[in-house]
Structure 1
Amino acid sequence: MAAKPSIPKGTRDFSPVEMAKRNYIFNTIRDVYHLYGFQQIETPSMEMLSTLMGKYGEEGDKLLFKIQNSGDYFKGISDEELLSRDAAKLASKFCEKGLRYDLTVPFARYVVMHQNEISFPFKRYQIQPVWRADRPQKGRYREFYQCDADVVGSDSLLNEVELMQIVDEVFTRFDIRVCIKINNRKILSGIAEIIGESDKIVDITVAIDKLDKIGLDNVNKELAEKGISEEAIAKLQPIILLSGSNAEKLATLKNVLAGSETGIKGVEESEFILTTLSALGIKNEIELDLTLARGLNYYTGAIFEVKALDVQIGSITGGGRYDNLTGVFGLSGVSGVGISFGADRIFDVLNQLELYPKEAVNATKLLFVNFGEKEAAYCMGVLMKVRAAGITAELFPDSSKMKKQMTYANNKNIPFVAIVGEDEMNAGKVMLKDMEKGEQNLVTIDELIQALK
């Protein structure tokens, strides 16, 4: 008996209906990116491990999918090394390539390799899958799509403002209520400086970024395990639990971080972004959230995260400013800022809230019933005119029983059916049936097209 087929954990098949929904997401995001002048690029699914390693922090490096070298990958490896069973060391010998973890690092590599062809500032977007060797769970997959937009070659905070406008516009089009959370890595660095733990900035940000997931007590426990003193942890409490309006939080931070030049710079940057967005009247809530840290090491300025307000799910969009990323590839002085929409989580949110427009999901609008050879030939001629008018339509390929053909229309959620028999052909008309209302009318070809357009 043949083994039952399966797919790897954390991956999914998508049905035609699901693909229609996903394309609605991708097309909506793509349209907004185009509206703001972003251009599309693509990069390979696999990158050299030397490109990927060390860019995502220690935790991120562990989640990279490594690709085994082809050919004799034992060549050059001693018996002693094989018997050591040192997985990390052997992987470095067996694997030179890996599946991309995100789209930002490959983009930085692209900028460096194509710097002489690019006009700066360079506004690019990219909609492609990424892979992470994470533990699969609700809303977290091993293969998923990201929809990134980045601007490189400009230090202006207007780029951050524009990206937040894009976020606001996309979720307004989706009709998803969100809270856009904003923070700044310079503020976090300033806090670490004020509490006397500047060298532990990465440990602090990784820990407090988990506040929503594991709670304050567990965050404090993790901070202590990382060697941060009790006194420093105590000083951190009122800062990470800071409440009030955005203006009140900024005012408090100006006092708290008065002794840190870096921290004050972060406050000023956040104030500019929040004040400008407030004047532009964005539709969704925006909040300065000091617990937002975004664990990735390459962020250096503003950081963003978006939470859906009506569904319990993790971040559905994130991003930030990364001044140093291209420097690791030999191109210094190129600042960048970007966002990434989590298409798979947005898919789940739209499903839970049932927010997909019918026209985005129903692929075929009109089905022609097939009564036989003569009728099918007539319908094919009408089909050409209908499709030329931009209406999605199909002819049932076999002259099966009427019940079977109508069941097919119902199963595919086709809203209209065209019935053509001897009488309709003689009159040069079509019987148009509205599947939802159950009504049917005899119409001319032009009337049919007008009714469906």
Structure 2
Amino acid sequence: MATDSFLPPSGTRDFLAAESAARERAFATVRDVFGRYGFQPLHTPAFERLEVLTGKYGDEGDKLVFKILRRGEHEATGEADLALRYDHTVPLARVVASHGSRLPRPYKRYALAPVWRADRPGKGRFREFVQCDLDIVGSASPLADAEVVSALYQALETLGVPEFRFLVNSRKVLIGLLEVYGVPAEAGGSVLITLDKLDKLRPEAVVAELSQGRGALPASTASNLVADLTASDAVARVRKELTHSTIGQAGLAEVDRLLDLLSDTVPSRRIGFAPNLVRGLDYYTGVIYEVTAPDVPGSIASGGRYDGLIAGMSAGAQTPACGGSLGIERILPLLPAANEPAAPTLDVAVTALGDDHTDAFRMAAAIRRTGLRTGVYLGSSGKLARQLKWAADQGARFCLIHGPAEQAAGRVIVRDLTSGAQTTHPPERVADFFGE
């Protein structure tokens, strides 16, 4: 059988012990920070009904939804009625629409769990990955946006991510800019999808797509729009262009208010207005942001306000909401502890020598009750040297030696593998040594 047959599917990974431990430490840090801000955990199914997910992420996003084929007689048709979770925001909207009366208002929740994208795998891009989300539902206050950004900032700082920076904009700024440039409302979504590629494509390539493909803008309009957004003085240019746009001015006010609220929390070098930031998802309605880090493609965190998503799903009243997400898969390689050696597996290793291993299991069980990680040798070798090597490979501090001679004497040897010192104890009392 070919070696490739044993690889995980493209865009997915196996995590062995050391990497799993590093990931769990990072997740624990994120949970602790989010919990300190009063966010509560929420768990939703790995898959949703297809109609719940589609139509929420824009044309490009909808293409990346992993669909699940109908079973039974429908399987041959290629029809799908379920899909793997694309993100945690749309499932949250479904939960609020379903359980709204049982939830506190505002409802502050976080979610740390895998999501799936039918994307082309690449460096830092996977088909299955964990998202760390937090959201506030039921508050239109700019304080909610500021609290989400503050919690994301605190999590990145606590994790030890170096030199990250928040880029902030507002969808209202972008809508106002399109208004100023005379872009028809029906073409606005397509134009924004193309502008979202400015961090991936050269400006002239974006101009070509705007004028020849999406939006079909006049070449001069496309060129001037891209020039304003990519100029070194883009902030000044955009503020000037939006002087007579009511919605654009409202967007600028949102950005300025957020930056002001965060002025004592996030250093100015770590946050700033970025008028060329788009965020391609259709459901954003106000402030949007992304977090970048040196030498990392794309963003390591993102978020924004999406006041219309929940009402759109439930056909109910407008429900204000905002949230953000940490791109933990891109963050983990940046952490100082990412390359630390694996932590010890055991505290105490118990040898299994001779033919009678009953006492070995009894002693291991008693030592575990003291709170120490304890394991019994499970290999086939009866040689002490091989079992001592196993104990060292597990990172154990202590090893219990209970061979035929010790069994006959009614004693067990406790060897300190760091110092080499040894003490002897009755088997039924050895746990007392570790419980002192």
TM-score range, shorter chain: 0.7 to 0.9
Shift in Å, 1:62: 1.4
Name the residue aligned to 1:184. 170
Shift in Å, 1:347: 3.1
Shift in CA distance, 261/389, structure 1 to aligned 2, threshold 3 Å = farther
Task: Decide which of 410, 417, 420 is 1:440's aligned counterpart.
Answer: 420
Show the 5 A alignment for 1:142-157.
Answer: 142-157=127-142
Q: Which amino acid aligns with 1:29?
A: V
Shift in CA distance, 405/345, structure 1 to aligned 2, threshold 3 Å = farther
Show the 5 A alignment for 1:275-354.
Answer: 275-282=260-267, 285-309=270-294, 311-329=295-313, 330-350=315-335, 354=337
Shift in Å, 1:441: 3.4
Name the residue aligned to 1:83. none
TM-score using structure 2 length: 0.85
Name the residue aligned to 1:219. 206
* Partner-residue secondary structure (3-state), 2:12: coil
Name the residue aligned to 1:408. 390
Q: Which amino acid aligns with 1:145?
A: V
Name the residue aligned to 2:191. 204
* Aligned equivalents of 1:410, 1:322: Cα separation in 2: 54
* Aligned equivalents of 1:189, 1:406: Cα separation in 2: 69
* Aligned equivalents of 2:300, 2:75: Cα separation in 1: 42
* Aligned equivalents of 1:74, 1:405: Cα separation in 2: 53
* Aligned equivalents of 2:364, 2:267: Cα separation in 1: 45
Shift in Å, 1:289: 1.7
Residue identity over aligned pairs, in percent, reads: 34
Show the 5 A alignment for 1:16-35.
Answer: 16-35=17-36
Q: Which amino acid aligns with 2:289?
A: F
Name the residue aligned to 1:355. 338
Name the residue aligned to 1:81. none
Shift in CA distance, 272/426, structure 1 to aligned 2, threshold 3 Å = farther
* Aligned equivalents of 1:265, 1:40: Cα separation in 2: 33
Q: Which amino acid aligns with 2:420?
A: Q
* Aligned equivalents of 1:122, 1:305: Cα separation in 2: 23
* Aligned equivalents of 1:2, 1:9: Cα separation in 2: 16
Residues 188 and 201 in structure 1, CA contact (< 8 A), matched pair in contact too: no
Residues 398 and 416 in structure 2, CA contact (< 8 A), matched pair in contact too: yes
Q: Is 2:195 the counterpart of 1:195?
A: no
* Aligned equivalents of 1:218, 1:295: Cα separation in 2: 18
Pairwise CA RMSD: 3.2
* Unpaired stretches in structure 2, ≥5 consecutive residues: 425-430
Shift in Å, 1:370: 0.5
Task: Decide which of 336, 339, 351 is 1:370's aligned counterpart.
Answer: 351
Number of positions where the alignment pairs a residue of Structure 1 with one of Structure 2: 420
TM-score using structure 1 length: 0.82
Shift in Å, 1:243: 4.0
Show the 5 A alignment for 1:6-405.
Answer: 6-73=7-74, 91=78, 94-177=79-162, 178-199=164-185, 200-225=187-212, 226=214, 227-243=216-232, 249=235, 253-282=238-267, 285-309=270-294, 311-329=295-313, 330-350=315-335, 354-355=337-338, 361-362=342-343, 364-370=345-351, 372=353, 383=364, 387-398=368-379, 400-405=382-387
* Unpaired stretches in structure 1, ≥5 consecutive residues: 76-89
Shift in Å, 1:217: 2.1
Name the residue aligned to 2:428. none
